[in-house]
Structure 1
Amino acid sequence: MANSGMDPEVFTQFIEQLERYVRERLIPAEEEVLANDSIPEPLVDEMREMGLFGLTTPEEFGGSGMNVPQYIETIRVLGYAMPAFRSIASINLGMVCSALTKSGTDEQKNEWLPRIAAGEIACFGLTEPGSGSDSAAMATTAKRDGNGYILNGSKRYITNAPQAKLALIMARTNDEALPRNAHVSAFLVPMDTDGVSVGKADKKMGQFGSQISDIYLDEVKIPGNALLGGEEGKGFATAMQSLDNGRLSVAAASCGYARRILDTAIKYATERKAFGEPISQFQLIQAMLADSQAELYAAECMLRDAAAKANEGKAIIEAASAKMFASEMCNRVADRCVQIHGGAGYLAEYEAERFYRDSRIYTIYEGTTQILQLVIAKNMLREFSAGIPA
């Protein structure tokens, strides 16, 4: 059954408030974020006060209870600012909250959802040094220990790990690679648990202020009630369901940032003069602007359609398609922005150079373009074999 979400009128007012906040508070703070590679804590507190960490949390647990289209539109608006502001909240919203809401026990929901909604930062531990999309190669293990488990292993490229209070960790509960990835389970692991440690924050090409690092699990003892949903073998399904929301979030971020990039390109083209007139009057510059607008419009339409289907619980192909197209689109728009800037686009003093670096990761995380091509094709073939109309 589709989630009706927040009252439409209240949501419209919220979006208008968020648009002002993005332009009046977040964008002016970007230079400070770039200088320190972190979001100032007062800004994070403001985001907490605005309820940005609890948008998707059900109202009974202290959240706003947004449905998927409302959440995705919020991320698109937030994505107009530099990516770090989305990253700090999006793991809570689109992945950990989703997993808890869909699969958590009542006890788990009561313990964690109010804390997540209040702004305790969470992270999502799937990728490992030797495995990402290939769950059969997952090396992190969860061995039975009385009524609980002992976790050993490591996770790589984990967004928000340096600040997180909670990690949703995927681990093998069976030594064999079972059908439908039933050898993988999900665990709710407080980051202050003995044996959990976090590596140094990685230096990245772009997306400054969004911190990622490795998580190390060394003989980590957790109680049995840390098993998400209280049932082994459901972890990978939970991860994949959460990734659908994560992919839509990246698609929304790509659309929001592409709009910012295109606005910047238009502004520069109207101000920069060559041969006595603004370069915006040159037809080949206009062609790059027009191509960017058309592709961005297409991505926004895909995003809204995929979000509506996800709200009805059926969006594997659509979420993967929207993420694939929107992320590639954002990269193309960023590339054109640099080209429109000419030599200035290669200089760090202009935003075009940063946009180019920031955008590159969108085609990689939450499923690379190549993995998403496989996801889309496999589901198309499965539906065809089952006689499901396209």
Structure 2
Amino acid sequence: MVSTMAINKDDSRSFLTEEHLLFKQSIREFLAKEAVPFYDQWEKEGEIPCSFWEKVGDNGFLCPWIEVELGGIGADFGYSVVLAEELERVGSALGGISIHSDVIAPYIASFGTIDQKQRYLPKFITGEMISAFAWTEPEMGSEIDIQTTAIKKDGYYLVNGAKTFVTNGFNADFMIVACKTDFNAVPPKDGISLLLIDKDTPGLSRGRKLSKSEQGSLGTAELFFDDDSVPVGNLLGEEGKGLSYIMQNLQQERLISAIRSLMAAKDMLHLTMNFIKRQKAFEKKISKFKKAQSTIAEIATDIHLGRTFVDELIRKHMTGENIITEVSMAKQWITEMSKRISEKCMQLHDGYGYLEDEKIARRHRDISLPTFFTGTDETIKILIAKNIGF
């Protein structure tokens, strides 16, 4: 039996059972062997190899919450928390796996037909199929303004348009694509539908792999649709209800984003404490300076407050409560808090923090991107204000 001694000190959280901790230990040992030694190379290449996805699936880490009949183990959300945290502990570029497992797959499970579930979800679990969600468009701002169109004709939707910043898009075998299907809907954003599009669908092409400054191994890509012929049977749920489905899944998506950002902050604290304990300035360990001690105390306090808030939301989410307002608060505050922590940690690292081979440099580079996930800060703040009656 795997010992949980090494992780109990760090994870005495009320929603984590012995089974969760064993799952955590298994993932951590797997990643130490199969991801950590190769992570730098994946960053240089700009993608996580498909063979690694299959190894993750072979070990039973993908989509454990899916019901047994479809190949999962029917696990609770605590397993998803563990997966998101352990992937983020290694590096933000592994976040595409968490998005596949706990953001995209739930759309199929929640709104898909029996045929769609049987066609996709078993392969999601094994890692044979990599998924992506194509929402953002080249000209899209903070407002919902989908320009990609899907017109029904002879048993198919003819899709035309373009998507950008598609996480996992470069290697995706399958993607959920948001399209405009009702051009008379009032308001216009209500006329959005979600289509399931396979990689070999006629009319679909991939543009360049986007070399973002942040999270370079996410396989982010541009997608183009030129009379892309999608069978009407690939409509996810009902036509025109795409935005409604996105809003229903938003609570878990934003919670996953907050969980990942909090783990990134925690890792930055760990890296910085180790650095200043061994590094000297003026013949004195940096950790002995009062300013450094004060900064570390501030960072640790922020992380503790964030962890307390997020753990409460995890417990509520696991019991099915509607906490979209609180989750939105957590996502917005924690992603911004992590950016502040990043700046403080870089200052304590001094010039060493800007060396590319230093993990803290990658953390600093990657930390801004989550602020744009599931909506910009401004969009989320407006939602919060509305939901509290302002």
TM-score w.r.t. structure 1 length?
0.90
Deviations 1:169-192 (A, max 9, x none): 111111134249431111111121
Pick which of 173-182 and 320-329 moved more: 173-182
CA contact 2:196–2:234 (8 Å) conserved in 1: yes
Structure 2, gaps ≥5 residues long = 1-14
* Pair 1:195–1:73, CA change in 2 (3 A): same
Q: 2:271 aligns with which of 260, 264, 273?
A: 264
Offset at residue 327 of structure 1 (A) = 1.0
Counterpart of 2:242, as a letter, is G
* Pair 1:34–1:57, CA change in 2 (3 A): same
* Pair 1:184–1:296, CA change in 2 (3 A): same
The residue correspondences of 1:229-268 to structure 2 (distance < 5 A) are 229=237, 231-268=238-275
* Pair 1:133–1:69, CA change in 2 (3 A): farther
Offset at residue 267 of structure 1 (A) = 0.4
Counterpart of 1:258, as a letter, is A
Offset at residue 9 of structure 1 (A) = 3.5
Which residue is 2:90 aligned to? 81
SS in 2 for 1:203: coil
Counterpart of 2:297, as a letter, is A
SS in 2 for 1:134: coil
Counterpart of 1:64, as a letter, is I
Q: Is 1:275 aligned to 2:282, yes or no? A: yes
The residue correspondences of 1:51-62 to structure 2 (distance < 5 A) are 51-62=60-71
- Root mean square deviation, CA, Å: 2.1
Q: Is 1:17 aligned to 2:63, yes or no? A: no
Pick which of 72-81 and 176-185 moved more: 176-185
Counterpart of 2:62, as a letter, is F
The residue correspondences of 1:104-123 to structure 2 (distance < 5 A) are 104-119=112-127, 120-123=129-132
* Pair 1:326–1:18, CA change in 2 (3 A): same
Offset at residue 245 of structure 1 (A) = 2.1
Pick which of 270-279 and 63-72 moved more: 63-72
CA contact 1:271–1:278 (8 Å) conserved in 2: yes
Q: 1:310 aligns with which of 304, 317, 321?
A: 317
CA contact 1:130–1:138 (8 Å) conserved in 2: no
Structure 2 CA distance for aligned equivalents of residues 291 and 74 of structure 1? 28
CA contact 2:87–2:98 (8 Å) conserved in 1: no
Structure 2 CA distance for aligned equivalents of residues 98 and 211 of structure 1? 21
Counterpart of 2:98, as a letter, is S
Offset at residue 98 of structure 1 (A) = 1.1
Which residue is 1:345 aligned to? 353
Offset at residue 366 of structure 1 (A) = 2.1
Structure 1 CA distance for aligned equivalents of residues 339 and 226 of structure 2? 39
Aligned structure 1 segments of 4 or more residues deviating by more than 6 angstroms: none
Counterpart of 2:249, as a letter, is S
CA contact 1:92–1:123 (8 Å) conserved in 2: yes
Structure 2 CA distance for aligned equivalents of residues 338 and 174 of structure 1? 49
Q: Is 1:172 aligned to 2:180, yes or no? A: yes
Q: What is the number of residues matched between the two proteins?
A: 374
Offset at residue 147 of structure 1 (A) = 2.9
Structure 2 CA distance for aligned equivalents of residues 8 and 264 of structure 1? 28
Offset at residue 60 of structure 1 (A) = 1.9
Offset at residue 152 of structure 1 (A) = 1.2
TM-score w.r.t. structure 2 length?
0.90
* Pair 1:223–1:35, CA change in 2 (3 A): closer
Deviations 1:111-165 (A, max 9, x none): 1111211211100011111225522x21111111133321111111100111101
Counterpart of 1:329, as a letter, is M
Structure 1 CA distance for aligned equivalents of residues 278 and 100 of structure 2? 40
Q: Is 1:150 aligned to 2:143, yes or no? A: no
Structure 1, gaps ≥5 residues long = 1-5, 383-390
* Pair 1:225–1:8, CA change in 2 (3 A): farther
Pick which of 157-166 and 168-177 moved more: 168-177
Q: 2:38 aligns with which of 6, 29, 36?
A: 29
Structure 2 CA distance for aligned equivalents of residues 297 and 96 of structure 1? 29
Structure 2 CA distance for aligned equivalents of residues 289 and 185 of structure 1? 47
Pick which of 125-134 and 10-19 moved more: 125-134
Structure 2 CA distance for aligned equivalents of residues 23 and 285 of structure 1? 31
- % same residue: 27
